[in-house]
Amino acid sequence: MAVPFDRFRQVLEDERARLKEELARLDARAPEGIGYHDHMADDATDVLDQTTRAALRRHLEIRLQEVEAAIQRMEEGTYGICQACGRPIDIARLKAIPFAALCLDCQSKREREPGEAFR
């Protein structure tokens, strides 16, 4: 039973390109440095901006890693297989989250036990 993963590959590659672009844009907007302003108010705004930017950057980087790992699995022929239990991931789940590394069962188990490391 061949599952048509090709369309997911396109989605993943588009997503990878989009994420890289967003990261590049984020870096381009980054200020030269912090603390070189004349006004306290400006500094406060910049610090907040910096925090928001760092959080956004972290989010984009994690997503990019997930997308790249999914593309890697595609190349290795393990795409669509749960990385924890080895069972196929539901196709509906892949449609919703093409970079999903875990089946729904393992994902919710993991979310219930956040301390558990990724094996």
- Residues forming contacts to Zn ion in the complex (CB under 5 A) are 82, 84-85, 103, 106
| C-alpha–C-alpha distance, residues 92 and 106, integer Å | 16
Question: Would you mind telling me the total number of residues written for the chain in this entry?
Answer: 119
| C-alpha–C-alpha distance, residues 77 and 14, integer Å | 20
State the nearest-atom distance from the C-beta of 41 to Zn ion, in Å: 51
Q: Among 84, 91, 90, 78, which residue's Cα sits nearest to residue 107?
A: 84
State the nearest-atom distance from the C-beta of 78 to Zn ion, in Å: 13
Q: Pick between residue 12 and residue 82 the one whose CB is nearest to Zn ion.
A: 82
Q: Pick between residue 52 and residue 108 the one whose CB is nearest to Zn ion.
A: 108
- What stretch of H or E contains 92? helix 91-96
State the nearest-atom distance from the C-beta of 84 to Zn ion, in Å: 5
Q: Pick between residue 12 and residue 103 the one whose CB is nearest to Zn ion.
A: 103
